Amino acid sequence: MYLRLMRDGHEVRVHMSDEASQDVMQGMIEFVPDWPSSLPWIREAGDDGIIVFETATAGEDQDDLRRRGFNVVGGSGLGDKLESDRAYGQRVLRDHGMRTACSHEFNSFDDAIAFLESNPGRYVFKLSGSNWASTRNYVGQMESAKDMIGLLIAMKDYWKLDDHPAFVLMEFLDGVEVGVGAFFNGERFLDPPNLDWEHKRFFPGDIGELTGEMGTVVTYRGAERLFESTLAKLGPLLRESGYCGYINLNTIVNERGVFPLELTCRFGYPGFAILDSLHKDNWATILSRLTRRSAESIETKDGYSVGIVLTVPPFPYPDGYDALGRGTPICYRDNMSEEDLDSLHLGEVTMCNGQLRTAGMIGYIMVVTATGTTIEEARAAAYERTGKVVIPNVRYRNDIGLRLVEGDWARLSTLGWVE
């Protein structure tokens, strides 16, 4: 986003809060040691001055800045709590008329183990708080809950923190996982909403760690019914909190209905990059429309976008990155076109003596996107484009969108959620 804003002629300053990521995009973007020191610069720009927060941990700062008259895009204090406090988020969703999975909140491993022994079944383990990696979550596989009990016993043995654990055990639901998202300008949602299908596990066939996302299919068409049934109901609450930015609700859809799982109250990765490929408006226009509340919609394209996340070892873990992945050269084949280059959304990279190299803390290198009138067309184009990027030891999933094409879309269509 920052590179594209700069390319379009806008002044951009970035504060990198994570110590392990100080080398990311060095030599490519102007960095500042802290963001408060740039507030006078933002103030001087008037309505054109916009502050963007990427995390779900600075909501109170954002609320304070808005009270002081600054234009802020990101989230809010409420958004932080909705995302990080999983039990609270589920209560809010229920209070707004949505049907949620049974979710049980715990602050003790022993209490959770006792619960599972009395109530066996498949559950999803999720730690509360914003500092936990997705790899720490676990989807139970055994109806006896033997695997989940074993996990909790092991976590209890290795828990080193002074604070008590805070986590939920959520009822496992079979169905199609689908997200619905939209931009909120502080007063209302901007049209149109979108649908997304994430691929969270590391390996093809949904095997391995829960990484966040290894790739996603997105469309801005046909989301209205699911949006009105779920995310739209939060509009008054978001307005009251001053929320301004993007928000996404992940759900499970099956024959029993729609079950919201969790909210992402910020720009998500790789979601915002894949959305970018479907925007007719550039980021400056979108950010301005959010802060100025000057429009009720953004201009988007028909069809679908497929995004593929490219990583290097030891992703999804940071340990050993210096030896295994950091500093790896990134090259493009000779047939890489300008359109191809514009569809590469860079992440943990840096420029060193004219050579693009991997950087950062975990090996999340870039998102490759492509669009098409059908999911199959977008998939084919995305993988063709991915083949033009050459990175030693690069890893990515080769099945993004495949399950959707082979069955999930038909199931959603039968249930009346897509056409």
Cα–Cα dist 285/10, whole Å:
11
Task: Give pLDDT, residue 317.
Answer: 94
| Nearest alpha carbon to residue 88 among 105, 74, 102 | 105
Which amino acid appears at position 159 of this protein?
A: W
Per-residue pLDDT reduced to its tens digit, 309-346: 999 999 999 999 999 999 999 999 999 999 999 999 99
Cα–Cα dist 26/29, whole Å:
6
Cα–Cα dist 314/54, whole Å:
24
Task: Give pLDDT, residue 20.
Answer: 87
pLDDT of residue 410 exceeding 70: yes
Do residues 317 and 388 touch, judged by C-beta distance below 8 A? no
Element (H, E) at 154: helix 146-158
Cα–Cα dist 22/280, whole Å:
32
Average pLDDT over residues 198-212: 94
Spatial CB neighbours of 305, under 8 Å, sequence gap ≥ 6: 217, 218, 219, 274, 275, 277, 278, 369, 370, 371, 378
Instruction: pLDDT band for 161, please (50, 70, 90 cuts).
Output: confident
* Beta-strand runs (E) in 107-203: 123-127, 138-139, 167-171, 176-184, 194-198, 201-203
Cα–Cα dist 38/45, whole Å:
11
Domains contained in the chain, CATH given: 2-76 (no CATH), 102-171 (3.30.1490), 176-414 (3.30.470.20)
Task: Give pLDDT, residue 130.
Answer: 67
Q: How far is CA 166 from CA 101, 120, 140, 141, in A?
A: 18, 21, 18, 22
Q: How far is CA 363 from CA 66, 189, 212, 335, 385, in A?
A: 34, 34, 14, 25, 20
Average pLDDT over residues 39-52: 97
pLDDT of residue 135 exceeding 90: no
Q: Name the percent of the chain lying above pLDDT 90.
A: 89
Per-residue pLDDT reduced to its tens digit, 84-117: 888 899 999 999 999 999 989 999 999 999 999 9
Q: Which tokens go with 311?
A: 């990583």
Do residues 169 and 148 touch, judged by C-beta distance below 8 A? yes
Residue pointed to by tokens 């619905």: 180
Average pLDDT over residues 239-250: 96
Q: Name the percent of the chain lying above pLDDT 70.
A: 100
* Beta-strand runs (E) in 291-410: 304-311, 331-332, 344-346, 349-352, 355-358, 364-372, 389-390
Q: Helix (H, G, I), strand (E, B), or coil: what is residue 201? A: strand
Task: Give pLDDT, residue 414.
Answer: 97
Average pLDDT over residues 299-307: 98
Comparing 369 with 18, the larger pLDDT belongs to 369
Average pLDDT over residues 381-404: 98
Query: What rounded mean pLDDT belongs to the chain?
Result: 95
Task: Give pLDDT, residue 294.
Answer: 86
Spatial CB neighbours of 46, under 8 Å, sequence gap ≥ 6: none
